[in-house]
Amino acid sequence: MSRVHPTAVVSAEASLAPDVEVGPYAVIGDGVVLGAGCRIGAHAVVEGPAVFGEFNTIFPHAALGFAPQDLKYRQEKTELHVGSRNVFREFLTVHRGTAGGGGATTIGDDNYLMAYIHIAHDCHVGSRTIFANYAALAGHVEIGDDAILEAFCAVQQFSRVGRHAFVGAMTRASQDVLPFVKTVGTDSVKTYGVNTIGLKRKGFSDERVDALQRMYRVLVSPKLNTSQALERIGEEFAGNADADYLREFVRGARRGVHK
């Protein structure tokens, strides 16, 4: 049986797995589904429709699943979908989607989302990401698997952050952020090479990291424009999955990429 503190408020229209814990003064709204092992801290509020997988931990005063901060929103039914084993720290906010943005905000598995971060409507966050304190996503942002966003960084709406990207503290990303690479800056956002230490911590071999470093040098070469650089990467690294992903990512950028 779920362990719900007597001061908590749980809607009759919510669905809680048998071992869910709900702390003092927490509120679980209509249409919320909490999977096995989820823990909701004191004063946290979860609104729906929102579906959570297993073993998610929501810390005190976090607010998830509320309506989007979008002036075009007209109370249409939209959703939040969350995977498993995510950590949502204090005072964090995550909003549902909008009809114009696909109707759902999604978060994958094994993410660690620290205090005071904001994930806006229609964002899609992958798995195994880390968001440091006060990181913020505007609407319609995509975050690739294993990305790291440091404190106080902000990602502009409709931007993408690639897999294994490292976004430094205070960075204001107004274009897409390259995968595998360190990107840092406020008024002038620049890349600072492949995130060698982070990739090796994730189990990348020396050979794989070396190949990524060579791809990066081609991509930022002052002697080549972006199209020429991508063509050369395709020629020199034919059959390399990282090269294929990098080229596809850059080609898919609508406002360019930070280099």
Predicted local distance difference test score (pLDDT) of residue 150: 98
C-alpha–C-alpha distance, residues 29 and 259, integer Å: 44
Across the range 21-34, mean pLDDT stands at: 98
> Is 244 one of the catalytic residues?
no
pLDDT band of 224, cuts 50, 70, 90? very high
Q: What is the mean pLDDT of residues 46-57?
A: 97
Mean pLDDT, to the nearest integer, of 91-109? 97
How confident is residue 1, by pLDDT bands cut at 50, 70 and 90? Answer: low
Average confidence score pLDDT of the chain? 97
81 is catalytic: no
* CA-closest candidate to residue 114, choices 133, 129, 98: 133
Domains of the chain: 3-140 (2.160.10.10), 198-251 (1.20.1180.10)
Residue 2 confidence (pLDDT): 72
Catalytic residue among 70, 109, 122, 242: 122
According to the model, what pLDDT value does residue 187 have? 84
Q: How far is CA 23 from CA 1, 18, 162, 188, 244, in A?
A: 15, 15, 36, 44, 47
> pTM here?
0.95
Mean of the pLDDT values across residues 155-169? 98
SS3 193: strand
Determine the Cα–Cα distance for residues 252 and 256; give it in Å rounded to an integer. Answer: 9
Active-site position among 121, 124, 140, 258: 121
Instruction: Please state the rounded mean pLDDT for residues 184-207.
Output: 95
139 a catalytic residue: yes
Q: What mean pLDDT do residues 149-177 have?
A: 97
For the residues 170-180, what does the mean pLDDT come to?
Answer: 97
